[in-house]
Every structure is written in C-alpha cells, then in structure tokens.
Amino acid sequence: MVDLHMHSRYSDDGEFSPSELVRKCSDAGIKIMSVTDHNCVRANAEAAEAAKARNICYIPGIEIDCTFRDINFHMLGYGIDYKSNDFMEIERNIEEQSIRTSMERLVQTQVLGFHVTENDMWEIAKDNYWKDIWTGEMFAEVLLSRPEYADHPLLKPYRPGGSRGDNPYVNFYWDYYAQGKSCYAEEKYPGMEDILDVIHANGGFAVLAHPWVNLKQNIDLLDEILDLGPDGVEAFSSYHTREQAEFFYGIAKERNLIVTCGSDYHGKTKPAIQVGQHHCRLAYI
C-alpha cells in the first residue's frame, strides 16, 4: 500500500510527530510513504530515518500553497532536496504572514458572535511547532469544546450526527475560513509557476494536490494548469469520490503524467480520515 500525502506536527494543522506517522503507516501495512507538511520540510529527516528502521520506502515531500488565476492551490513536491534554503524561505514567508492573519481570524471569529481571546488561542497552540499561528480548525476546536456553545446554531452542524460532523474541525474551516468565506484572511502565496520552478530546481517532482477540492466550479482551468508543467496529479484522495478519482486518473494518463494517491491524514483535525485512506485500488501506481 502507498500513501504519499500526510501531515505531521510541522504542519499548522497536524497532530503527530514524523516518527509516529511512520509507526501508523507500518501498522497499516503501508510500504511507500511521504510526509508532506504545509510549506515546511522539517519532518523529512526524522521520517526518513524512522521509515528505514521499519523497512518502509520513504520519499521526501512537502505541500506548498500557491495561486493560479487568483485561486489558491496546493502543489506537492516529491524527491526534493529538503535541505535547500529555498524551502526555508518558503516557510519564513508563510510564518510571517500567518502571524498577522491569525489575528485577523480572531477578530472575524468574534464578529460571528463568539467570545474567544488571544489567550484562548495561545493556550491551544502552546505545544505546536507553529505556536503563533491559529488556523480555522483550531478555532473550531476551541468553540466546540465550550459548554456555553453546546446549542449554538452555527455549531450544530459540526456536532456528532450533524451534517458536517464527520470531520468537524476541518469542515468548520472550509465553511468559515477558506478562500471566499466570512472569516477568510488573505495571505499572498507564490504563483504556481514559481513553485513549480522551485520544486524542479531542487530535484523534485511536482504533483497537483487533491485537484477537485480547489477546482470544483473552475474545472475548465485544469488544462491550463497542466500546461504549466506539473509532473503529476493526485487523482486518488480521501477528498475525491470514485468518479472524480477516475476522471483525474484518465486525464493524467492521457497526458502521460504521474498519478499519486494520498490520504491527506492530519489526525484530530480530520478524524474520519486514516492513513492509507485514498480509495486507490491500483497496485503501486
């Protein structure tokens, strides 16, 4: 089994250490894996060493935020020279912006009518690698834990049994903090062309992550994106239905692109998703 998309504590929304992810993959029978943290390569050295000890083939990875036609996308980079300063610069850029946008998210969450403070957010982030960065998922975790909000109408869909209760934290993020939503705080991401150049310049292969998540109503942009020169498409993802996966698989094969599969496992942020959960039935594609 293969899983080439998962996040460690070096992502702003990941839960486990790189070594813990390797153990989970070993327990699940995964033989080829990659840790692809958001805009950060710090997990790779530890994960590679732990994977070697468990006889798992490890591929260095990263997931980088970028934009195309004013839409935010994620580009996966595999086989990269993760010691390159290029990736340190990407991390610094995101960190500087995210500290500012975290405060903006706090204000917008208060505008929704919730009493949440800086101290609340610092407390929940105190053990994180990104201590000053507060994601939509973290706001959801704080709000959903408050007894006084047990019957709050905005939170009911994210309770057990609710329409958005399968992955409540990340669903709350998508509904309120994602691009175009009421609590969205804009960050300036590099252009997709620039990120493709960085990945290729550092010996890596670039793969468009979970394309349906970001394209949806803009599926007509797919050909333009693929013309830019990514090496592959993550056709098989926990986010994709079987029909969507088959669609992207077909497009990739028509263009002789790499096809990858990834669960996008995070831990508590997406409790309904487990390592290896990407619906791919093909053997070592």
Per-residue confidence (pLDDT) for residue 284, from 0 to 100: 43
Fill in the DSSP letter of residue 72: E
Q: What count of other Cβ atoms lies within 10 Å of the Cβ of residue 281?
A: 9
**Which pTM was predicted?**
0.91
pLDDT of the chain, 285 residues: tens digit per residue: 899 999 999 999 999 999 999 999 999 999 999 999 999 999 999 999 999 999 999 999 999 999 999 999 999 999 999 999 999 999 999 999 999 999 999 999 999 999 999 999 999 998 889 888 999 999 999 999 999 999 999 999 999 999 999 999 999 999 999 999 999 999 999 999 999 999 999 999 999 999 998 898 789 999 999 999 999 999 998 989 899 999 999 999 999 999 999 999 999 888 888 988 887 766 544
Beginning with the edge strand found earlier in the chain, give each strand of the sheet holding 61-68 in spatial order.
61-68, 71-78, 205-208, 232-237, 258-262
**CA 42, CA 121: separation in Å to the nearest integer?**
24
Per-residue confidence (pLDDT) for residue 282, from 0 to 100: 64
Per-residue confidence (pLDDT) for residue 272, from 0 to 100: 83
**CA 91, CA 254: separation in Å to the nearest integer?**
34
Closest CA to 105 of 114, 190, 67: 114
**CA 231, CA 83: separation in Å to the nearest integer?**
21
Q: What is the DSSP string of 165-181?
A: -SSHHHHHHHHHTSTTS
Closest CA to 18 of 39, 1, 28, 33: 33
- In terms of Cβ atoms closer than 10 Å to its own Cβ (0-12, 13-18, 19+), residue 106 is buried
200 φ, ψ (degrees, to nearest 5) = -70, -35
Per-residue confidence (pLDDT) for residue 218, from 0 to 100: 86
Domain boundaries, the chain: 97-176
